[in-house]
């Protein structure tokens, strides 16, 4: 059995229309353990409170693979966690906001403060969409290339959320079951 930790972003109250909610259900139906916590105060997140929640829910299971999937602001949470980052077998980082955009939003600016984009040896796959209004220059330039991450570009994916057609996202489910799968966009968003 694999244990999945799914981490949401800013102002996300885990709505049923989001691909993360759909994915949690699909993985549970397949018999996996799924941790999909509501992070504290999603409309005014406190970095320390989110780091505490990451530690609480990121305890490695006694057996089996441990996989983390983070979307949007939780990607920055993952990057900021440093030594508090859980020991995961696989990590999928999806649609992070740029440091500049994050710093321009008072409620989340602390997530961009002290962000280290030179960390060596960070093993993760970054999935990002063209035209993401929260990372207009491209997540590959801000995160993927500096951190040496494995990259999957989703053409016209924007922020890879329900507003851009990502409620159900079969390709992410395929990646969960087979890490060699490249994450693609929805055929019928």
CA distance 150 to 171: 16
pTM listed for this prediction:
0.97
Neighbours of 116 (CB within 10 A): 11
Query: Looking at the DSSP assignment, which residues form a beta bridge with residue 35?
Result: 5
188 within some domain: no
CB 33 within 8 A of CB 3: yes
Number of domains in the chain: 1
Element of type H or E holding 79? helix 73-81
186 within some domain: no
184 within some domain: no
Note the pLDDT of residue 27: 98
182 within some domain: no
133 within some domain: yes
10-residue mean pLDDT profile of the chain (189 residues): values are 97 96 98 98 98 97 97 97 94 98 97 89 95 97 96 97 96 97 82
Domain that holds residue 128: 2-177
CATH code at position 115: 3.40.50.1820
Note the pLDDT of residue 121: 83
Note the pLDDT of residue 189: 42
CA distance 7 to 36: 6
Residue in the block written with tokens 């961009």: 112
187 within some domain: no
CB 163 within 8 A of CB 156: no
């Amino acid at each position: 059995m694999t244990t999945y930790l799914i981490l949401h972003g800013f102002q996300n109250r885990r709505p049923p229309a989001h691909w993360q909610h759909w994915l949690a259900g699909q993985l549970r139906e397949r018999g996996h353990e799924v941790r999909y916590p509501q992070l504290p105060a999603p409309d005014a997140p406190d970095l320390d409170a989110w780091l505490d929640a990451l530690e609480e829910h990121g305890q490695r299971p006694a057996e089996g693979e441990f996989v983390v999937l983070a979307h949007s602001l939780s990607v920055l949470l993952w990057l900021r966690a440093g030594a508090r980052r859980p020991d995961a077998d696989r990590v999928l980082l999806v649609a992070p906001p740029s440091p500049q955009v994050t710093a321009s939003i008072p409620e989340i600016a602390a997530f961009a403060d002290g962000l280290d984009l030179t960390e060596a040896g960070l093993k993760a796959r970054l999935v990002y969409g063209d035209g993401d209004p929260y990372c207009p220059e491209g997540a590959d330039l801000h995160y993927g290339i500096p951190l040496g991450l494995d990259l999957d570009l989703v053409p016209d994916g924007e922020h890879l959320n329900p507003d851009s057609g990502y409620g159900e996202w079969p390709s992410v489910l395929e990646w969960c079951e087979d890490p060699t799968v490249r994450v693609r966009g929805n055929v019928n968003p």
